[in-house]
């Protein structure tokens, strides 16, 4: 779980960096678009030689164009030039334009463009601004709610996918844990913990009971010879007690008695067989 928490955290950081990178890219595109606006305004003044001063980013949404020479223009020409230049980019279609006088920073002209053109405010379109020194500020009104929702729609499927992967991993992990058990009817035999599990009941096993039951489980429904059992459990450890095998078989039968589908059969003169009958 901890690993997946780190993964989600890492993805959120990635989205944050991605957002910052997009903001940086938009800033550069905005400056290019504004230089194009400045160039078109100068050309409309029959000026192809004077300079457009460096575009200044005033804040995350506002940019300013300044000119080397004075200029004059009609507001409707400005509206058309700005719209044409911005349409070449993927910048927000909602923005506010202000034309400021260099001398006193008073607003000589301004208008606001909305996504819905009918709601745009474009006053005094036919009144020419006199020759003067102007700066032009454009403020992009990005739809923050829409932007946030866009990221949300990206993140939600990602988190669902991670949750789905985590669930699969969890199931796989559970299967792996279950594979450490021997399934005997309704019992689970945990050889590492030396115990039997029956529903919510735990039944402890001795070391010898554990070794014996493991051999029988590995040979489920097959006869295991007495000699093999005795040798592997007792003789291999340098100890042999004649009646020990029968004693431990008897103990295992008692501990497995809760499930009547399980029985340890004594095949006379041969050995023992652990049987589980299917219901």
Query: Mind listing the pLDDT tens digit for each residue in 184-229?
Result: 999 999 988 999 999 889 999 999 999 999 999 999 999 999 989 8
Q: What pLDDT is recorded for position 55?
A: 94
**Residues 255 and 205 sit within 8 Å (Cβ to Cβ):** yes
Question: Who's near 106: CB < 8 A, 6+ residues apart?
Answer: 100
What does the angle CA 18 – CA 9 – CA 169 come to, to the nearest 5 degrees?
120
How does DSSP classify residue 54? Answer: P
Q: What pLDDT is recorded for position 115?
A: 82
Q: What pLDDT is recorded for position 118?
A: 82
Q: What pLDDT is recorded for position 177?
A: 42
Tell me the whole-structure pTM to 2 decimals: 0.47
Lowest mean pLDDT among 30-34, 167-171, 178-182, 247-251: 167-171
Query: Mind listing the pLDDT tens digit for each residue in 146-157?
Result: 455 555 556 667
Q: What pLDDT is recorded for position 173?
A: 47
**% of the chain at pLDDT higher than 70:** 75
- Helix ranges (H only) for 45-143 are 75-86
Lowest mean pLDDT among 35-39, 50-54, 89-93: 89-93
Q: Rounded to whole angstroms, how far apart are CA atoms 66 and 42?
A: 11
φ/ψ of 100, rounded to 5, equals -110, 140
Q: What pLDDT is recorded for position 37?
A: 94
Q: List the end-to-end C-alpha distance of the chain, in Å, as a whole number.
A: 39
* Position with higher pLDDT, 181 vs 158: 181
Query: Mind listing the pLDDT tens digit for each residue in 59-104?
Result: 989 999 999 999 999 999 999 999 999 988 888 889 999 999 999 9
* Coil, strand or helix at 97: strand
Interior/surface letters 156-188, b for 16+ CB within 10 angstroms, e for the rest:
eeeeeeeeeebeeeeeeeeeeeeeebbebbbbb
Mean confidence (pLDDT) of the chain: 82
Averaged pLDDT for residues 163-187: 66
* Position with higher pLDDT, 164 vs 78: 78
Q: What pLDDT is recorded for position 145?
A: 46
Query: Mind listing the pLDDT tens digit for each residue in 99-124?
Result: 999 999 999 999 999 888 888 888 87
């Amino acid at each position: 779980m901890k690993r997946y928490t780190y993964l989600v955290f890492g993805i959120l950081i990635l989205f944050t960096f991605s957002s910052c990178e997009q903001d940086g890219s938009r800033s550069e595109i905005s400056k290019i678009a504004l230089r194009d606006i400045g160039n078109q305004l100068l050309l409309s003044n029959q000026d192809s030689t004077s300079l457009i001063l460096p575009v200044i980013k005033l804040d995350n949404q506002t940019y300013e164009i300044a000119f080397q020479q004075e200029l004059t223009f009609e507001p409707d020409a400005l509206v058309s030039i700005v719209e044409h230049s911005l349409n070449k980019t993927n910048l927000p279609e909602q923005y506010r334009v202000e034309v400021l006088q260099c001398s006193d920073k008073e607003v000589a002209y301004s208008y606001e463009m909305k996504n819905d053109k009918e709601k745009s405010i474009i006053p005094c379109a036919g009144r020419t601004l006199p020759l003067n020194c102007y700066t032009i500020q454009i403020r992009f009104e990005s739809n923050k709610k829409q932007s946030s929702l866009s990221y949300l729609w990206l993140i939600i499927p990602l988190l669902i996918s991670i949750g789905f992967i985590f669930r699969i991993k969890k199931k796989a992990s559970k299967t792996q844990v279950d594979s450490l058990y021997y399934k005997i009817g309704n019992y689970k035999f945990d050889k590492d913990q030396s115990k039997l599990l029956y529903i919510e009941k735990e039944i402890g096993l001795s070391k010898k009971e554990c070794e014996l039951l493991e051999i029988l489980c590995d040979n489920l429904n097959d006869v295991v010879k007495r000699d093999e059992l005795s040798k592997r459990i007792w003789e291999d450890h340098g100890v042999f007690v004649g009646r020990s095998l029968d004693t431990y078989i008897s103990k295992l039968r008692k501990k497995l008695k809760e499930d009547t589908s399980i029985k340890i059969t004594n095949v006379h003169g041969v050995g023992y067989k652990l049987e589980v009958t299917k219901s």
